[in-house]
Amino acid sequence: MPTRTLYAATDTPAHPTQLDVAGDLLTLLRDTTTEPRPDNQLEALTLAVAADLPVLLWGEPGIGKTAALTQLAAALDLPLTTVIASVHEPSDFSGLPVVGDDPAEQGVPMAPPDWAVRLVRAGRGLLFLDELSTAPPAVQAALLRLVLERRIGALRLPPGVRIVAAANPRSSAADGWELSPPLANRFVHLQWTHDHEVVVRGLGGTWPRATLPRLDPEKLPGAVDYARRAVCGLLTGRPKLVHQLPSSETRRGGAWPSPRSWEMALSLIAFATAAGSSREVLSLLARGTVGDGPGLELLAAVDRMDLPDPETFLADPSAGELPERGDLRQAVLDGVVAAVRNRPDRARWDAAWALLVRALETGAPDLLVVPATTLASLRREDWDVPESIEQLAGVVALSQRADRAAATVKSGR
């Protein structure tokens, strides 16, 4: 039988073609594995996904945003639905009008697109809105209800669907637009960057594994209380941070503080606390919801919440641990001196000096200049000078001379 007849009968070549061999090679190239590996930005992404908050990944073209989302969907066993926002019309997100038999009686329903129907039928999934910064303003306006309310026309996405978007900065996007403030304020903004070691190891066949955070059930009530105290404590003292619309168009297209974004920040602090996440991950999430400045202030408020009570040290200067970080140690010492000022007493004054000596023995001496000087000014005439002051006097004098010398050099320039 001629070879041509054999191929026609079986539809399969007797011998593999070069395209078949090329396909085998492509399969081998795509055959990669994953491994548990600390990755702050990946952990921040999975925490926001677990908290059911829309996430927007910002990064230059080719940085791996799409690949990260594909791997995340596979790791979480969620069907991935990718929608390129810029190639759709506004009606694709708000719903297409469908005229029925009696529009005057029944109205005109807004039919959702096929991808939304598939997500509802599946009951779960990862909706990936790619190239968001190339979507024109009219499409961005149509996306508002989808991102916040999970509605497309008359259809509502089920709770099992998570929304993640990706965008390039306007300078590197194809016909890019700045995000509108209402749309930007609905996302957790994460800056997606590459790590040299991760890329090299991934090209070698092993990428970091994306997993949902392990939340400790016993920590949930405490995590919620902790997050509420952190956010409410900051906003009580800084009421102007409740809502601050940036003045520049570029910053309005990113993270900025509003009641909506503070609510997202509160949720993420609770999730990060229950998961035992690092401060670096919490920093990415805080700055990604309310912006860099307010986010750093929130981190500082969280740090202050973990500081020991000044009264603990005044009751026993040897009790409790002094923080290792210089700014936190300074805050503790200043808090102890302020407590003595508010309720001056000889025993409390002596205890504060004992704590300063302890701080001198375990940390940087320049942190003691201000609290030691302030504490010395609180002395009453009938209070004897403790011997511990002698240990601190030289340090304070040396630091003050160094400050004066630095000021002289600076003024001489």
pLDDT at 409: 45
Q: What's the CA gap between 186 and 255, in Å, rounded? A: 9
Whether 403 has a pLDDT exceeding 60, the answer reads no
Q: What is the pLDDT of residue 323?
A: 84
Residues in the chain: 413
pLDDT at 211: 82
> In sequence order, what are the residues at sequence separation of 6 or more whose Cβ sits closer than 8 angstroms to the Cβ of residue 41?
190, 191, 192, 193, 284
How many C-beta atoms surround the C-beta of residue 267 within 10 A? 21
Q: Is 328 helix (H, G, I), strand (E, B) or coil?
A: helix
Q: Taking CA 110 as the corner, what is the angle to CA 109 and CA 113, rounded to the nearest 5 degrees?
A: 140
Inform me whether the pLDDT recorded for 25 exceeds 80: yes
Task: Provide the pLDDT for residue 39.
Answer: 86
Can you tell me the mean pLDDT for 379-406?
64
CB atoms within 10 A of CB 296: 14
Q: Evaluate the CA torsion angle 346, 347, 348, 354 in order and state its sign.
A: positive
**β-strands 155-156, 151-152 pairing:** antiparallel
Out of 2.60.40.10, 3.40.1440.10, 3.30.230.10, 3.40.50.300, which CATH number does the structure's domain 36-98+108-208 have?
3.40.50.300
Between 205 and 386, residue with greater pLDDT: 205
What number is the average pLDDT over the span 148-166?
90
Please report the pLDDT score of residue 123 as a whole number. Answer: 92
Q: Which two tokens stand for residue 187?
A: 């996302």
pLDDT at 386: 75
Domains of the chain, by residue range, sit at 36-98+108-208, 217-305, 310-412
pLDDT of residue 240 exceeding 90? yes
Q: Of 66-75, 156-165, 220-229, where does mean pLDDT reach its minimum? A: 66-75
- Locus of tokens 């700014």: 327
Which of the two residues, 219 and 372, has the higher pLDDT score? 219
The pLDDT value given to residue 393 = 66
Instruction: Dump pLDDT digits (tens) for 163-194.
Output: 999 988 866 655 668 889 999 999 999 998 88
Mean pLDDT value across residues 231-235: 92
- The helix or strand, by DSSP H or E, that contains position 208, with its residue range, turns out to be strand 206-208
What's the rounded Cα separation, in Å, for the pair 346 and 355?
A: 14
| Per-residue pLDDT tens digits for 27-81 | 998 888 888 888 899 999 999 999 999 999 998 888 888 888 888 888 888 999 9
> What pLDDT score does 64 carry?
80
Return the pLDDT at 8.
47
How does DSSP classify residue 134?
Answer: G
Question: What's the pLDDT at 190?
Answer: 95
Phi, psi of 151 (to 5 degrees): -115, 135
The 3-state DSSP class for residue 164 equals strand
For residue 128, pLDDT beyond 90? yes
Top pLDDT among 233 and 392 is at 233
What are 104-122's pLDDT values in tens digits? 666 666 778 888 889 999 9
Q: Which pLDDT score, from 0 to 100, does residue 259 have?
A: 96
Tokens representing 376? 């010395």
Adjacent-strand bridge partners of 127: 81, 163
CA distances from 284 to 79, 291, 295 (A): 27, 10, 9
Decide if pLDDT at 405 tops 90: no
* Contact indicator for 265, 286 with CB cutoff of 8 Å: yes
- The mean pLDDT value for 325-335 works out to 85
Strand-pair category, 160-167 with 124-130? parallel
Q: What is the pLDDT of residue 411?
A: 59
List Cβ neighbours of 324 (8 Å cut-off, separation of 6 or more). Answer: 363
What is the model's pLDDT at position 100?
62
More confident residue, 79 or 396: 79
329 confidence band (pLDDT: 50, 70, 90): confident
59, 66, 73 from 167: Cα distances, Å: 7, 10, 18
DSSP states of 255-292 as a string?
----HHHHHHHHHHHHHHHHHT--HHHHHHHHHHHH-H
Q: How confident is the model at residue 242 (pLDDT cuts 50, 70, 90)?
A: very high
Q: What pLDDT, on a 0 to 100 scale, did the predictor assign at position 47?
A: 94
Q: Above 80 in pLDDT, residue 366?
A: no
What pLDDT is attached to residue 103? 62
Q: What pLDDT, on the 0 to 100 scale, is given for residue 399?
A: 47
